[in-house]
Amino acid sequence: MITPEDLIALVRNYNPKTNAGKIAEAFAYGEEMHDGQFRHSGEPYFTHPVAVAALLTEQRLDDATIITALLHDTIEDTKASYEEVAHRFGDEVAELVDGVTKLTNLQLSSRETKQAENFRKLFMAMSKDLRVILVKLADRLHNMRTIKAMRPEKQAQKARETMDIYAPLAGRMGMQWMREELEDLAFKVLNAEGRQSIIRRFVTLQRETGDVIHRITGDMRIELEKAGIEAEVFGRAKKPYSIWRKMQAKDQGFSRLSDIYGFRVITQSEEDSYRALGAIHQRWRAVPGRFKDYISQPKSNGYRSIHTTVSGRDGKRVEVQIRTRQMHDVAETGVAAHWSYRDGVRTQNPFAVDPAKWIASLTEQFDAEEDHDEFLEAVKLEMYSDQVFCFTPKGDVTKLPKGATPIDFAYAIHTRIGHACVGAKIDGIRVPLWTRIRNGQSVEVITAEGQMPQVSWLEIATTGKARTAIRRALREADRARFVKLGRELARSAFEHVDRKATDKTLETAARALRINSVNELLASLGAAEITAHDVVQSVYPELTSQEGDVISPRRAVIGLEAGQSFERAPCCQPLPGERIIGITYRGRGVVVHAADCDKLSEFDSQPERWVDVHWDSGTHAAAYGITLDLTIGNDAGVLGRICTLIGEKKANISDLEFVDRKPDFYRLRVNVELRDVEQLHSLMLTLEAESDVAEVARFRERPETRSVSE
């Protein structure tokens, strides 16, 4: 195990002014707290926090972060308390240790709905102090390096969590080296055979071609020296997982994969970076479409570099990254560069992103998401996306995820522009809104007054910001419509029991149903989240209970065997008074169809499943739902009148869905609860007589068309 002196020496390499006494004290305290605890490998447990601290010294982090690494498991796994850590090492360290403890307890790989809430907590912890996640990532890296000591099922779970969450997060923070190593360690667990296959092919390739990396780096150094450019050149083979991912994405075998080698050119200045690019392109042929300039268009996490792919020796493609030393430091450590020390002072790297601003931009769009699934979708879109750079008509650069559309571009400019978008031009040519934007294109948004977001935009938009804004606008528009519809439904339902839907009555109903306000109650009613029957029953339960000599729905059908249950077929929704046929189902009892239901033909070859049943001839409760297909005029007050007519016929509306909206007509489906077929006929006659009703029909599902071969 690394000794306290070794660890302090590692810190002194970049921070001679380190508080060695505090680090030594934290080392001794952590060792004492973890005394008697062991890892799965049998090593003393404290070897793990020490290794995490050593990893963080590679990123030249401050004393508080190093001490946090030494103590990061003390509050969770030992008798140490927050108060004691704060007393010994200060509030800053205690807050960081507490933050890491909370992250450790989050089940980020859970498949339950709490996963979204845990991600929300993760981003909240990051927003307080990003060093918390730096310690957690180093903790995960060391755990993955020593994962062999765990049980196989635990290895698989940790590897999947690493691949899905921690590796992309490290990449999003600009720590590419850590992302690559985490991915490769997880790949080794999840697909050991695939990884070994890649390594074997590498060995074979090196035998056939020799040391390609040494030859190409030598050639590059010669070209740069000729051009008078002072630079360092490094080459490497890409990690097995990176190659595997390329093979899967491009559906190519290893032998056809071109860019399996990567080279870095580290220059003294930005000007030299562009000169180096010129020298390399003069010597080797550039591959079209494989050039990205992240120096003039940096990534949001501070990453700057020139990327190009050239055809090297024997036509082999190689990827080259060119950047300055300061840019390279940020490329290696990402946002961690903000805390880096050199010679005892905080490094003033001009390319390091302020973590407060970075995390604010990352979490801004998530704060507005109310739905768990939508929040999780936004997180993953943000974490897993690559970027493209495009221009406004004025020449300003806008960064968007790969695959973004003009809708995303419009919302990136301003939410108001997004809402009003009716079209777009790319490089001066009118294009559909679903067009994918490519690097370097100029995008112009065409807007119009009165335009509002469309539901179809959710399928077009790819950014979390755009989707969040669209959903919010749609919810607000729907809410106003649902409140209006809910008021009509409530009025009709209360009139059905000879009562008025006054504000006081609705307030009482909202309280009884534990809904915050009358408007929320009406919106829920209009959106069919609750039924009008529920609302009336919450205030007048005695008026909605089934009284008199009525038949219980359980006893409504005659012809069933003792203990046999039935249910109405959703395809035809039979009502009392109609001829019916029963079809037996294993585990479901008997499903009752109307005698003229088209789906009965599917059972012609199975007569043993047919049951002769009929409705009891007594009085039935109004508890049988059927669906009406209505086409009505798009005029003020029409929908309200329709709801009133239905209520006057003593029918209860349980749900309503708009199927199609045209400028002059609406087509909708209305679920109503009826007593029997006579009440249905009476209701349909009344609706047909209404001048604003163009069509009314009983909605029934049709069987799927089958081919002759079936």
Interior/surface letters 389-428, b for 16+ CB within 10 angstroms, e for the rest: bbbeeeeeebebbeebbbbbbbbbeebeebbbbeebebee
Token reading at 181: 């190593």
Q: Which residue in 236, 284, 282 sits closest to 259, CA to CA?
A: 236
* CA–CA gap between residue 343 and residue 336 (Å, rounded): 17
Q: What is the DSSP letter of 442?
A: B
Is 25 a catalytic site residue?
Answer: no
Query: In the 3-class helix/strand/coil scheme, how is 304-372 assigned residue by residue?
Result: CCEEEEEECHHHCEEEEEEEEHHHHHHHHHHHHHHHCEECCEECCCCCCCCHHHHHHHHHHHHHCCCCH
- HSE toward the beta carbon, residue 180, CA cutoff 13 A: 14
C-beta separation of 439 from 292 below 8 A: yes
* CA–CA gap between residue 45 and residue 149 (Å, rounded): 13
Active-site option among 43, 58, 76, 692: 76
Q: What is the DSSP letter of 601?
A: G
- HSE toward the beta carbon, residue 285, CA cutoff 13 A: 8
Q: What is the DSSP letter of 413?
A: H
Is 567 a catalytic site residue?
Answer: no
* CA–CA gap between residue 390 and residue 368 (Å, rounded): 26
The H or E element spanning position 221 is helix 212-226
Place of tokens 């086409």: 631
Residue 479 CA: distances (Å) to CA of 365, 516, 521, 522:
21, 15, 11, 9
- DSSP conformation letters of 238-278: PPHHHHHHHHHHHT--GGG----EEEEEEESSHHHHHHHHH
Dihedral angle over CA of 429, 434, 440, 443, nearest 10: 50
C-beta separation of 69 from 56 below 8 A: yes
Place of tokens 């450590």: 333
Bridge partner residues of 235 (DSSP) = 263
Number of residues that this document lists for the chain: 710
Q: Which residues, including other chains, have CB under 8 Å from residue 600's CB and lie 6 or more apart? A: 581, 583, 593
Active-site option among 25, 43, 58, 77: 77
H helices of 436-594, in order, are: 457-460, 464-496, 503-512, 518-526, 532-539, 541-544
User: What angle do the packed helices 464-496 and 638-648 form, to 10 degrees?
Assistant: 40
* CA–CA gap between residue 307 and residue 297 (Å, rounded): 12
* CA–CA gap between residue 468 and residue 370 (Å, rounded): 9
CA angle, 354 as apex, 352 and 355 as ends, to 5°? 110
Report how many helices (DSSP H) and strands (DSSP E) the chain contains, helices first: 29, 23
Residue 267 CA: distances (Å) to CA of 262, 275, 327:
16, 10, 10
Active site residues per annotation? 76-77
